[in-house]
A and B are shown apart, each in its own frame.
Chain A
Amino acid sequence: MATKAFTLDDLKRTLREAAGVAEGVDLDGDILDTEFEVIGYESLALLEAGSLIEREYGISLDEEAVGDANTPRAFIDVVNTQLAPAQAA
Chain B
Amino acid sequence: MNRRRVVITGIEVIAPGGVGRHNFWDLLSEGRTATRGITFFDPSPFRSRVAAEADFDPYAHGLSPQEVRRLDRAAQFAVVASRGAVADSGIDLGAVDPYRVGVTVGSAVGATMGLDQEYRVVSDGGRLEAVDHTYAVPHLYDFMVPSSFASEVAWAVGAEGPSTVVSTGCTSGIDSVGYAVELVREGSADVVIAGSSDAPISPITMACFDAIKATTPRHDDPECASRPFDATRNGFVLGEGAAFFVLEELESAQKRGAHIYAEIAGYATRSNAYHMTGLRPDGVEMAEAINLALAEARLNPEAIDYINAHGSGTKQNDRHETAAFKRSLGDHAYQTPVSSIKSMVGHSLGAIGSIEIAASALAMEYDVVPPTANLQTPDPECDLDYVPVVARDQLIDAVLTVGSGFGGFQSAMVLASPERSLV
Contact = CB atoms under 8 A, between A and B. Distances in A.
A43 B211 contact: no
A44 B278 CA distance: 8
B212 to A, nearest CB: 6
Interface of A: 42-44, 47-48, 51, 63
A54 to B, nearest CB: 11
Contacts of A51: 211
A47 B211 contact: yes
Contacts of A63: 213, 217
7 contacts: A42-B278, A44-B212, A44-B275, A44-B276, A44-B277, A47-B211, A48-B211
Nearest to A48: B211
Contacts of B213: 47, 63
Contacts of A43: 278
Nearest to A44: B277
A42 B275 contact: yes
A51 B278 CA distance: 18
B422 to A, nearest CB: 43
Nearest to B277: A44
A4 to B, nearest CB: 26
Q: 5 shortest A-B CB distances, which residue pairs?
A: A47-B212, A44-B277, A51-B211, A42-B278, A63-B213
Nearest to B217: A63
Contacts of B278: 42-44
Interface in B246-276: 275-276
Contacts of A42: 275, 278
Interface in B276-290: 276-278
B99 to A, nearest CB: 45
